Structure 1
Amino acid sequence: MSYYRNSTTNSSATGISSAQGTEQDLMNDITINNPANDSISDIDFNPQQDFLFSSSSWDGTVRIWDVQQNGMPQCRAQYQHQAPVLTNRWSTDGTKVASAGCDNLVLLYDVMTQQQQQVGQHDMPVKSIRFVQCGPTSQSLLVSGSWDKTLRYWDLRQQQPAFTLQLAERVYDMDSKQKLLVVALAGKNVTVIDLNNPSQIFKQTTTPLKWQTRTVACHNEGNGFAIGSIEGRCAIQYIDQQEQRKSGFSFKCHRHQNKAPVGLNINSSSGTSTTNNNNRSSYVYSVNKICYHPIYGTFATAGGDGTFTFWDKDNRRRLKGYPSLKGPISAASFNRTGSIYAYAVSYDWSQGHMGNLPDYPNVIRLHAVKDEEVKGKKKT
């Protein structure tokens, strides 16, 4: 059973839980063993081709993967940063990959010519990038968010940023759908930007969650976002205040009663133990990634407990969850049709560099998505 709490009224509602997935259900997931020499920080699918995706790693490498007809992915190309890569995204036409990270640089790689170029730079590491369509003409720009507390828009034909926005805090994550750009910052701050007027901040607010923000993902409709934190909690938010009062809520996830997930070492993972009023221990893990299904508008959460779960926000319902993969899930992404869910099982850096133990798994897995896992029911 999954429990939700309305973030405005504080009234509780109970969602209906479907069958829990088993390890047997995951046996057919395709595994890429040792896809990098360090943990995976990001995964992104090509928006034009179902079987082409990119991954970035703390080993400083961006790799481009091609899933062959036999189902086995092959590394088609790769290029290098001079420091850990934290984020990568495909261009809208699917011909180029942009990436950024701890070398403070934004690089662009052309898949056809295999040429890379620097297209941007910050004063501190770059945590997140997105290709966005701006203004009434839907001009294509690349936007980057950094720990230097700025958001910079890049016209790939120019060396200087088209414009820069000063932010209240460091960028932890950001996402965009349609003309909505949401930037999750340190200190639980959230900056909302209407891309019809990208040089101005539309709204500044704070997340209703108690602890540090980890991930954010915009609703497909471009009218709000889901945000997750290190406390094993997710909130569904809407830009319009009336819609927020009606439909906004938060819920607990990636938590386990009495014991840590089987095979996950509690002493070296992201989990923390708490005791409730009934003297029952709960192991609480970070929500590391939220991804929306591109067709149905349902979403997946992946966490430090090594599990991923599919949810229906419109009906406040848990659709299906899976057992722990014996290591944190650090990154995830749906392909453009939602038929594949890619997830990386690797260290999520929740315990700093001292927690990056040699025995941590380091794999990317591809899960064939079934409609019954991700298709929500229509509201009645």
Structure 2
Amino acid sequence: MEFNQFKQPTSDVEISQPPTDSISEIAFSSKANFLAASSWDNEVRIWEIQNNGTSVGKAAFSHQAPALCCVWSKDGTKVASGGADKAGRMFDISTGQTTQIAQHDAPIRCIKFVEAENSSPIVATAGWDKMLKYWDLRQQAPVASVTLPERAYAMDCNHPLLVVATAERKILIFDMNNPTTPFETTESPLKWQTRTVSCFAKKDGYSIGSIEGRVGIQYVDAKLKDKCFSFKCHRDATNPMEALVYSVNSITHHPVYGTFATGSNDGSFMFWDKDARQKLKSHANVGGPILSTAFNGDGKLFAYAIGYDWAQGYKGNTSSIKNTIMLHAVTEEDVKPKQK
């Protein structure tokens, strides 16, 4: 069965040999259908996704503590990851070798390749030591460091735009042409703790999600500030006296259309068009909280990681929630902006 024949989540395909503990981040290569996942079992795994929807495990490498983030290099040849062992590591697909590329004084929560196309690889790491560091892979010491106002919770880069979200709802926006000085430091438009941030495909702003079931749409250019807005999502209002609010754990922008997906611990994912301010499609009840999401390079495949997010503490961790990754075939109808 070809991917484009899949229609509904009932047809979604489970990854082979999923992680054995909660998944912290999933990421697709932009060059091929390779998927990476970092997880709390200290492992970073890589699968190749076949055209028929099956997946084949290609490689894995380890941290000495939970792996908290992962990302692909621009050329699709390397996976970088950060972990609670305070180390950034890189795996080379062609050689099978793992090297340490970064070091912090506390767990590394966020990692991104931040260089422009066709330039030498630069990795940015942000950690719970309140530091943002830039690493040239040809050198052992960071080429630059920035002190953050608080611990890093989320980060995204679409060169030249880099956005770091920290504890206490702080947002730092960088232009990679001047990577050590934020051109704007602001507060999140959302009132509660930040969970995720994702740069727009057009590089003119970012989406931010929080634990209160809200998404903020933020433009960077001062001339576009009047287009900023926030909206409620991932809520259950069937009981008007007590609406249930769920965390927005992941936001991912579509590489072709610039629309975006949200994943939440209500067990649903939704596709949105920010320009039309409308929901395009929603898929509910996937079997557990959605922890991370990713589109592949052409946007025809969407992956989402399911697992317990510890929002209810250890008492909420029941055996009914399986740690796994599902693959969803994306139709144009799901993600293409509607005609006005």
Taking structure 1 as the reference length, the TM-score comes to 0.85
Question: Which residue number corresponds to residue 168 of structure 1?
Answer: 149
Aligned: 1:41 with 2:24: yes
Aligned: 1:221 with 2:202: yes
Q: Which has the larger radius of gyration?
A: 1
Contact residue 16 and residue 57 of structure 2 kept, 8 A: no
Aligned: 1:298 with 2:259: yes
Give me the CA root mean square deviation: 1.6
Q: Deviations over 1:264-293 (max 9, x none)?
A: xxxxxxxxxxxxxxx532111000000000
* AA matched with 1:256: D
- How much does 1:70 deviate? 3.2
Q: Deviations over 1:229-271 (max 9, x none)?
A: 00000010011233111x1110000101236xxxxxxxxxxxx
* Secondary structure, aligned partner of 1:243: helix
Contact residue 91 and residue 98 of structure 1 kept, 8 A: yes
Matches within 5 A, 1:1-380: 25-32=8-15, 35-49=18-32, 51-133=33-115, 139-245=120-226, 247-258=227-238, 279-378=240-339
Structure 1 stretch displaced more, 332-341 or 321-330: 321-330
Q: Deviations over 1:76-113 (max 9, x none)?
A: 11111111111001111111110111111000111111
In 1, Cα distance between equivalents of 2:315 and 2:164: 29
* AA matched with 1:337: D
Q: Deviations over 1:130-174 (max 9, x none)?
A: 00126x995531000101000000001111000100010110000
Contact residue 263 and residue 269 of structure 2 kept, 8 A: yes
In 2, Cα distance between equivalents of 1:91 and 1:353: 35
In 1, Cα distance between equivalents of 2:225 and 2:297: 28
In 1, Cα distance between equivalents of 2:196 and 2:168: 13
Question: Which residue number corresponds to residue 267 of structure 1?
Answer: none
Cα 1:348–1:33 change in 2 (3 A) is: farther
In 2, Cα distance between equivalents of 1:72 and 1:119: 32
Q: Deviations over 1:163-194 (max 9, x none)?
A: 10001011000001120000011001000000
**Residue segments in structure 1 that go unaligned for 5+ positions in a row:** 1-23, 260-278
Aligned length: 334
- How much does 1:128 deviate? 0.7
Cα 1:90–1:137 change in 2 (3 A) is: closer
Contact residue 31 and residue 365 of structure 1 kept, 8 A: yes
**Residue segments in structure 2 that go unaligned for 5+ positions in a row:** 1-6
Taking structure 2 as the reference length, the TM-score comes to 0.95
Identity %: 48
